[in-house]
Amino acid sequence: MKVAIYGVGEMGSGVAKLLQQRGIEIVAAIARSPEKVGRDLADVAGLDAATGVIVSSDAEGEFARTKPDIVVLTSNSYLADHEPFLATAVRSGANAITIAEEASHPWRTSPDATQRLDALAREHGVSIYGGGHEDAFWIGLGAQLIGVSHRVDAIRWESRWNPDTCGPEILSSLGVGERPEQQTVTVEWQPNMPRPPFALPALDGLAHRLGLPDAPRLVTTEFVLAEKPVWSWALDRNIEAGEILGLRDTVVREPQAVGEPLLQFTVSGVLRPGVHDSGESWTVEGVPNLAMETSFSGGTYQVTGQVVNRLQDVIDAAPGWVTHAEMPAIAYRG
Ligand SMILES: NC(=O)c1ccc[n+]([C@@H]2O[C@H](COP(=O)([O-])OP(=O)(O)OC[C@H]3O[C@@H](n4cnc5c(N)ncnc54)[C@H](OP(=O)(O)O)[C@@H]3O)[C@@H](O)[C@H]2O)c1
């Protein structure tokens, strides 16, 4: 398998490390900053051994030259920024797995871009998949958990994480360091609205996975503001008092018919200097009542590990944008 990495930041570097440790061939690496371009990937990503891959800003040229089977995209959060990168990968004849948060199920948040990419992937006979944390956890775990249920009235899940353990891209996606106009905002989300909260495509992905029809989703965003200066490792500056330190998004999909469960997902992404734990809690109300806690520590493996474990599934998938529901259960491939 020949793999290219698009975005050599925290996540891309982590994926590169795991690929090297598993003996999977890396053929190209794309970044944009002059500090990275022109250097060996091993040097930029902190790998154990040289790769012979020189980081380039010319994705189209590199993919045409090296012909990867799959491109791993670790560069952006939203399809509005990400569509051209995915299109470049697909046009080169490569499959693509992206960790863009919106990509976990973008059909309802960015339907036009998703349909364009789906058509392009079919035309080129390759597949696109939104992987990353959402895959095994925010969508996969919910679907798996209720496999034991007799009746499901509500699924409520909550994720807490520290965005400062990722790179600067995610902090700008969340608006960290900006000043909000209002501290709490509630909207019924409409297609093509900018910056869909990370919880929304994941909730849409689980709803789709459960076979629920499209329904309105209410999104409440509460900004958490710094009360005193807080150092951000990723931004390399203080978040000043009154600036956004993080946010708590809650997405709710009410049942539309008898037998449908209520879905409610909250994601709390708030900077906590030096804190490296993250995790989730799940409750299922129904028969039986269920509860589950997950917790992670030790870096970004819960994202990068599952991306690497998914590569072969994406290559094997039917052409087009592949939904979570169409994928096999994620499996360890070490
Ligand atoms: N779904 C998930 O589980 C999950 C988990 C973590 C992160 N993410 C998302 O994944 C993305 C990457 O996260 P990260 O922590 O690795 O961020 P990061 O450290 O800021 O890295 C982003 C990388 O993308 C590159 N990049 C951005 N725009 C580019 C462009 N136009 N051309 C070439 N390269 C470009 C940057 O290049 P330069 O360094 O050269 O500027 C950088 O190397 C973020 O959007 C984040 O929200 C998703």
pLDDT at 170 over 90: no
Q: How far is the CA of 114 from the centre of ligand 1 (A)?
A: 20
Lowest mean per-residue pLDDT among 17-31, 41-55, 89-103, 267-281: 267-281
Per-residue pLDDT tens digits for 85-100: 999 999 999 999 999 9
Q: How far is the CA of 101 from the centre of ligand 1 (A)?
A: 11
- Domains in the chain with CATH codes: 2-132+302-326 (3.40.50.720), 134-297 (no CATH)
Per-residue pLDDT tens digits for 268-281: 999 988 777 789 99
Per-residue pLDDT tens digits for 233-257: 989 999 999 999 999 999 999 999 9
The answer to whether the beta carbons of residues 321 and 128 sit under 8 Å apart is yes
For 115, the 3-state DSSP assignment is helix
74 lines ligand 1 (CB under 6 A): yes
CA 242 to chain centre: 28
Strand partners, 286: 152
pLDDT at 60 over 80: yes
Mean pLDDT of the chain: 95
What pLDDT shows up at residue 43? Answer: 97
| Pocket residue to mutate for ligand 1, from 18, 166, 233, 296, most atoms within 8 A of Cβ | 166
pLDDT at 190 over 70: yes
33 lines ligand 1 (CB under 6 A): yes
What pLDDT shows up at residue 272? Answer: 87
Give the mean model confidence (pLDDT) for residues 201-217.
98
Give the mean model confidence (pLDDT) for residues 8-17.
97
Per-residue pLDDT tens digits for 282-310: 999 999 999 999 998 767 888 999 999 99
Sign of CA dihedral 285, 280, 244, 304: negative
pLDDT at 15 over 70: yes
What pLDDT shows up at residue 289? Answer: 98
pLDDT at 173 over 90: no
Dist CA 170 CA 185 (whole Å): 20
Give the mean model confidence (pLDDT) for residues 109-115.
98
Dist CA 89 CA 27 (whole Å): 13
What pLDDT shows up at residue 82? Answer: 95
DSSP per-residue codes, 100-119: -GGGGSTTTTSHHHHHHHHH
Q: Among 92, 148, 87, which Cα is nearest to 291's?
A: 148
What pLDDT shows up at residue 220? Answer: 98
What pLDDT shows up at residue 169? Answer: 85
Region of 286 on the Ramachandran plot (φ > 0 left; ψ -120 to 50 alpha; else beta) = left
pLDDT band at 167 (very low <50, low <70, confident <90, very high): confident
What pLDDT shows up at residue 232? Answer: 93
Q: How far is the CA of 167 from the centre of ligand 1 (A)?
A: 7
Q: Whose Cα sits closest to atom 17 in ligand 1?
A: 167
What pLDDT shows up at residue 298? Answer: 64
101 lines ligand 1 (CB under 6 A): yes
Report if pTM > 0.75.
yes
